[in-house]
């Protein structure tokens, strides 16, 4: 049934996809998706990351395997992910994920002959997992089932049970996620390791920016509604500069127009690393920069939490001992926020943001997370040692 449905959807969507590729100039290759190429890579591990977030999460796994002498092939699901992967992992082979046809997956396995497949987080393609598991061990790292998608998993329980049974091991990011996996498939092999983002968020480029002697709010992975609220709040914060990093880099032009509407002086990261004393907004218009800016922050705002997205990675800020402000829609990052609840402020609008900042200014924070990070690191490394070395 799945195969028939997948072919049907593919036939409907592929012409639309072709038009989008031509119109928007996406780096998307049907040749790669059907694995119509030859390559040669010995002693290889296959890592699959759906998007930029998973590519960042995979860094400690990539580094560990590379240090042990493995070659790595990374597959991605989006043009944006492909571009970012090539920039972030110059030592890896970057490919687009094969279409979920049996012949495409089998051909990929014949081309690269990987020793194992490691999937990050929640990319559960039926043939990708089932067919690959017949030849090599398949692992799910930082495994998660969000509260929002759990109902979908339960509705298609029999289907997802078959996929989960095929994993050699599912290393979960939280106890709650492990319970959800067990509910869908009681016999699947799971372990609670913790969130890989705790480790990957420590691994960053050393980007130097000079700011004037003012306090900084770093707002990461933001959406239009959130930017409007932050800019309203900024009008009442004369001693602060807002470092603004939109979630989607293609929105930079729109964000610039929004800042201009508020009549605030702004500068672009791509234009200067020395921020002027009269600047109110420093706009990050380059991928891969956000995490480095948190080290300068007095407070951070985590995007996708006022907009109903579920929240983006707060660890890049928290691991640098920066208190965070989030909206009420933080269900995707709830386990992390609960770990750091004394450093988290929940808001609805600009007035709440102003109140939270006043509270943060009065409070002294004491972070102690080295032990937690080391524990998570050891858990994932022990899995790799036990199964692959």
pLDDT digits (tens, 9 = 90+) for 300-309: 999 999 999 9
pTM above 0.85, yes or no: no
Whole-number pLDDT of residue 13: 74
pLDDT band at 78 (very low <50, low <70, confident <90, very high): confident
Decide: residue 250, CB within 10 A, 0-12 exposed, 13-18 middle, 19+ buried: exposed
Average pLDDT over residues 21-46: 83
Question: Exposed e or buried b for every residue in 379-389, given b needs 16+ CB within 10 A?
Answer: ebbebbeeebe
Whole-number pLDDT of residue 4: 80
User: Would the pLDDT of 356 be above 90?
Assistant: yes
Whole-Å CA distances, 118 to 129, 134, 318, 365: 10, 15, 27, 37
pLDDT band at 17 (very low <50, low <70, confident <90, very high): low
Query: In angstroms, rounded to a whole number, what is the distance separating the alpha carbons of residues 148 and 330?
Result: 11
Let me know if the fold of 29-193 is the same as that of 215-362.
Answer: yes
Give the single-character DSSP code of 240: E
Average pLDDT over residues 132-139: 98
The residue among 148, 145, 175 whose CA lies nearest residue 160 is 145
Average pLDDT over residues 38-51: 95
pLDDT band at 1 (very low <50, low <70, confident <90, very high): confident
Whole-number pLDDT of residue 117: 98
Per-residue pLDDT tens over the stretch 206-234: 789 999 999 999 999 999 999 999 999 99
Long-range contacts of 247-254 (CB under 8 A, 24+ apart): 247/221, 247/222, 247/223, 247/303, 247/304, 247/312, 249/285, 249/286, 249/287, 251/224, 252/283, 252/285, 254/224
Average pLDDT over residues 52-71: 95
Lowest mean pLDDT among 87-96, 147-156, 225-234, 264-273: 147-156
Lowest mean pLDDT among 147-151, 153-157, 210-214: 147-151
Q: Does the structural domain 215-362 have CATH classification 3.10.20.30?
A: no
**Element housing 370 (H / E):** helix 370-388
User: Would the pLDDT of 23 be above 70?
Assistant: no
Whole-number pLDDT of residue 85: 96
Q: Does the structural domain 29-193 have CATH classification 3.40.50.11720?
A: yes
User: Would the pLDDT of 21 be above 70?
Assistant: no
Per-residue pLDDT tens over the stretch 99-115: 999 999 999 999 999 99
- Mean pLDDT value across the chain: 92
User: Would the pLDDT of 25 be above 70?
Assistant: no
**Element housing 215 (H / E):** strand 215-222
Sketch the domain layout of the chain as residue ranges: 29-193, 215-362
User: Would the pLDDT of 319 be above 70?
Assistant: yes
């Amino acid at each position: 049934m799945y195969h028939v449905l997948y072919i049907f959807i593919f036939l409907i969507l592929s012409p639309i996809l072709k038009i989008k590729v031509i119109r928007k100039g996406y780096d998307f290759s049907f040749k790669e998706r059907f694995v119509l190429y030859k390559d040669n890579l010995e002693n290889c591990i296959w890592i699959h990351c759906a998007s930029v977030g998973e590519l960042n999460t995979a860094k400690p796994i990539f580094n560990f395997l590379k240090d042990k002498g493995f070659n790595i092939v990374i597959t991605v699901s989006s043009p944006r992910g492909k571009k970012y992967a090539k920039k972030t992992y110059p030592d890896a082979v970057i490919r687009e994920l094969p279409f979920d046809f049996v012949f495409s997956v089998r051909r990929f396995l014949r081309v690269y002959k990987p020793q194992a497949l490691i999937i990050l987080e929640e990319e559960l393609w039926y043939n990708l997992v089932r067919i690959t598991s017949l030849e090599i061990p398949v692992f799910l790292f930082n495994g998660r089932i969000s509260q929002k998608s759990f109902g979908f998993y339960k509705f298609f329980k029999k289907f997802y049970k078959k996929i989960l049974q095929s994993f050699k091991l599912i290393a979960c990011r939280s106890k709650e996620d492990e319970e959800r996996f067990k509910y869908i498939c009681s016999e699947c092999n799971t372990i609670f390791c913790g969130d890989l983002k705790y480790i990957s968020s420590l691994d960053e480029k050393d980007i130097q920016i000079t700011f004037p002697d003012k306090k900084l709010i770093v707002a990461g992975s933001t959406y239009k509604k959130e930017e409007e609220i932050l800019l309203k709040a900024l009008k009442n914060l004369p001693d602060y500069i807002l470092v603004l990093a939109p979630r989607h880099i293609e929105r930079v032009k729109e964000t610039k127009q929004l800042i201009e509407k508020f009549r605030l002086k702004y500068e672009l990261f791509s234009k200067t690393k020395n921020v002027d004393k009269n600047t109110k907004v420093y706009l990050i218009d380059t991928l891969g920069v956000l995490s480095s800016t948190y080290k300068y922050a007095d407070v951070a705002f985590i995007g996708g939490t006022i907009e109903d997205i579920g929240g983006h990675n707060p660890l890049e800020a928290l691991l640098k001992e920066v208190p965070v402000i989030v909206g009420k829609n933080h269900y995707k990052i709830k386990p992390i926020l609960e770990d750091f609840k004394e450093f988290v402020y929940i808001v609805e609008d600009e007035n709440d943001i102003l109140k939270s900042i006043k509270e943060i200014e009065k409070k002294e924070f004491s972070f102690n997370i080295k032990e937690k990070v080391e524990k998570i690191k050891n858990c994932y490394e022990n899995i790799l040692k036990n199964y692959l070395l």
